[in-house]
Amino acid sequence: MTNLSQNSDIADDEYLSAFYRCAYGHLATVVGTGHQPSRTVEIGSGRGLARLSGHSWWHSDVLPSEALTLRNSAERLPFHDQSLDALILKDTWHHIPDIEAFLDEAHRVLRVGGTIAVFDPYWGILARFVYRFLHQERWDTRTPQWSFPSTDPWDSNQALTYMMLRRDREDFHRRWGDRFVLTEYQRHIGPSFLLSGGVSRRTAVSGAWLKRLLSWEERRGPWFDHFRFFHVFGLVKQ
């Protein structure tokens, strides 16, 4: 099981703590202010790092951890119909092997007007190169299907939102447009993420310097999107 004390390696790192505050801050913006924490669930919350940013959502994951409120699969949500205000997915969407089964479940458990808030890999020029050639997780845009075989919770296709929201955008609207309204937000976080090495491969680059770079990146306009690694979007239940 994950020890909550392991969160200190993130909380004590100036860049990583700023990265998570940035990510969860954007997710909170998508959800808005009309939700109750007791009716908001993060899917795939792992260590429960949203708590470091002051968010008191319910935390769930398929893997056991002391940080969890409950343990469950994204494709089988243990909630009553129309019982939730929001579902939060930070770097989780691309790990769900049957994303349409999740969307079916999400539509069932969310109230009308409830939101799925997603933070996931973006498909900018720099991000595509890094995710395809330098990242440990799979980036496969050639597969015709959104689903993928999985024998481990860490299996993934980081290109999943690219396929659904760009390559197959018309198909996505045909399948889901009568149940969810897609709300797209800005792209976020640029080369600071690459230079940091992320959580698992943290480099020796100064966290304080990377934090300043992150702040600079977040103030850039749409022209900088080619260099960003993540995007945020919402699906609002109709």
* pLDDT (tens digit per residue) in 18-39: 999 999 999 999 999 878 888 9
Taking alpha carbons only, the member of 235, 200, 193, 231 closest to residue 214 is 193
- Residue 11 sits in a domain of what CATH number? 3.40.50.150
| Mean of pLDDT values over 179-200 | 95
Q: What is the 3-state secondary structure (H, E, C) of 45-104?
A: CCCCHHHHHCCCCEEEECCCECCCCEECCCCCCCCCCCCEEEEEEECCHHHCCCHHHHHH
Query: Residue 130 contacts by C-beta under 8 Å, 6 or more apart in sequence?
Result: 194, 229
| Mean of pLDDT values over 216-231 | 97
Residue ranges making up the domain that contains 224: 4-237
85 alpha carbon, distance to own chain's centre: 17
0.75 exceeded by pTM: yes
Structural contact between residues 121 and 140, judged by C-beta atoms closer than 8 angstroms: no
The whole-chain average pLDDT of the chain stands at 94
Pairing relation of β-strands 110-121 and 180-188?
unpaired
Q: In the chain, pLDDT over 70 holds for what percent of residues?
A: 97
pLDDT at 1: 36
Pairing relation of β-strands 230-237 and 180-188?
antiparallel
Taking alpha carbons only, the member of 186, 191, 204, 124 closest to residue 158 is 124
The count of domains in the chain is 1
pLDDT band at 6 (very low <50, low <70, confident <90, very high): low
Distance CA 133, CA 229 (A): 14
pLDDT at 35: 83
Tokens matching residue 163: 């396929």
